[in-house]
């Protein structure tokens, strides 16, 4: 690593590497992020307006997911600037901004995974046990407890000496322990602290994914092989398919980050003390320059855009809300809070707006 004195001390420029990021691919990632960000930001603002004021469990969870998606989209702005300017730090050159971005953005992605886990869990229970009413209060309390945990984790991290660093290989800011000023190496305590941090972040990014995968396969199995779901009417089957699509899209966008971070944490924790970000599998050109901005930023923006796209294409009442093309039906839905104005079948009786629409 070679530090560039024209930037702040927390900025690391990999000028001594044998390769450099390809400008064309950086621009492609930046343009993709711009498109995903605009669609995700616009769409989730509309979706938040659709769910605002509704008090059922799924609508409340969607309100939180919409807000998180909006934050994630706004967090793409400084990364896009970096990708368009040869990975110069731009706004990340301010250590205050760098720290604020890292805390808010990375906490938002973890909180999003937990919100999707709670949403998929409540929908899986509704499909497997159609007559069981999932209580709203415990689910929301679990979400708020996790928010509190993330806040405590961030406070403890900075209280034990972590700082935020920007480096050109990842194109964004991330937490880092500064080595001892004399030896320029981490002390034994710092090494243990770094290992503990890697374990915690691996659990935060990976554990929700594991349970979401389990919920995903349960939904698929019920959809394909259980007559109770597959033989229901078109609206109910469409709801089950929408749940599966939404969960599958989330896994597609978030699994790469979970896998690569787990590999990085394992490699760095078990390697010799001369381990660097360009060691092991990360010494390859693509993994060194593109894995982190692609997984952490571009795919997150894509997920935010697809959230709106899935809901728009598969839920007629959301389109009615946007275009007011069927005002009588829309008013019925808004007044009752239930998507199906006709008599529901026993398998889906009592399911609220979000339960039979989109998960």
What phi-psi label fits residue 350: left (phi over 0), alpha (psi between -120 and 50 degrees) or beta? left
Token pair listed for 352: 């609220």
Q: Pull the structure tokens for residue 47.
A: 């979706």
Q: Which pLDDT score is estimated for 18? A: 61
Closest CA to 349 of 359, 339, 358: 339
Give the number of residues written for the chain: 359
Exposed/middle/buried for residue 235 (C-beta within 10 Å: 0-12, 13-18, 19+): middle
Edge-to-edge order in the sheet of strand 172-177: 11-12, 162-167, 172-177
Token couple for 67: 């807000």
8 A C-beta contact, residue 221 and residue 332? no
Q: Report pLDDT for 328.
A: 54
Q: What is the pLDDT of residue 3?
A: 44
List, for the chain, all residue ranges whose pLDDT scores fall below the cut of 50.
1-4, 230-233, 273-275, 325, 337-359
Question: What local confidence, expressed as pLDDT, does residue 359 receive?
Answer: 36
pLDDT for the residue numbered 57: 86
- Report pTM: 0.82
**The pLDDT value given to residue 112:** 94
User: Which region holds residue 187: left if phi is over 0, alpha if psi is between -120 and 50, else beta?
Assistant: beta
d(CA 334, CA 251): 31
Distances in Å between the alpha carbon of 314 and those of 25, 138, 158, 242, 318?
33, 29, 44, 7, 9
Residue 282 neighbours by CB under 8 Å, 6+ apart: 264, 267, 288, 291
Residues 6+ apart with CB under 8 A from 195: 269
Cβ count near 189 (within 10 Å): 11
Question: What's residue 357's pLDDT?
Answer: 40
- pLDDT at site 83: 94
**Helix, strand or coil, per DSSP, at residue 159:** helix
């Amino acid at each position: 690593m070679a530090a560039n004195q024209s930037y702040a001390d927390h900025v690391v420029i990999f000028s001594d590497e044998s390769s450099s990021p390809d400008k064309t691919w950086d621009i492609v990632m930046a343009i993709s992020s711009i498109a995903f960000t605009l669609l995700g930001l616009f769409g989730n603002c509309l979706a938040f307006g659709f769910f605002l004021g509704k008090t059922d469990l799924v609508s409340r969870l969607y309100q939180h997911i919409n807000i998180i998606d909006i934050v994630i989209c706004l967090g793409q702005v400084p990364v896009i600037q970096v990708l368009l300017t040869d990975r110069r730090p731009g706004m990340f050159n301010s250590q205050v901004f760098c720290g604020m971005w890292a805390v808010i953005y990375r906490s938002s992605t973890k909180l999003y995974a937990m919100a999707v886990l709670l949403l998929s869990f409540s929908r899986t229970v509704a499909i497997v046990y159609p007559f069981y009413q999932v209580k709203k209060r415990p689910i929301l309390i679990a979400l708020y407890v996790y928010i509190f945990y993330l806040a405590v984790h961030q406070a403890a991290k900075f209280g034990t000496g972590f700082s935020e660093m920007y480096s050109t290989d990842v194109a964004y800011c991330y937490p880092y322990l500064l080595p001892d000023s004399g030896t320029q190496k981490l002390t034994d305590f710092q090494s243990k602290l770094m290992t503990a941090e890697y374990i915690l972040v691996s659990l935060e990014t990976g554990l929700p994914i594991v349970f979401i995968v389990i919920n995903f396969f349960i939904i698929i199995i019920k959809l394909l092989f259980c007559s109770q779901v597959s033989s229901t009417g078109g609206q109910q089957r469409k709801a089950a398919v929408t749940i599966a699509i939404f969960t599958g899209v989330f896994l597609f966008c978030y699994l790469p980050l979970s896998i690569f971070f787990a590999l990085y944490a394992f490699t760095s924790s078990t390697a010799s003390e001369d381990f660097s970000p360009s060691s092991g599998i990360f010494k390859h050109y693509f993994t060194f320059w593109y894995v982190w901005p692609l997984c952490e930023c571009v795919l997150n923006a894509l997920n935010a855009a697809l959230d709106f796209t899935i809901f728009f294409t598969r839920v007629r009442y959301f389109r009615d809300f946007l275009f007011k093309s069927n005002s009588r039906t829309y008013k019925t839905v808004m007044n009752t809070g239930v998507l199906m104005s006709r008599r529901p079948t026993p398998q889906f009786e009592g399911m609220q707006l979000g339960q039979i629409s989109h998960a």
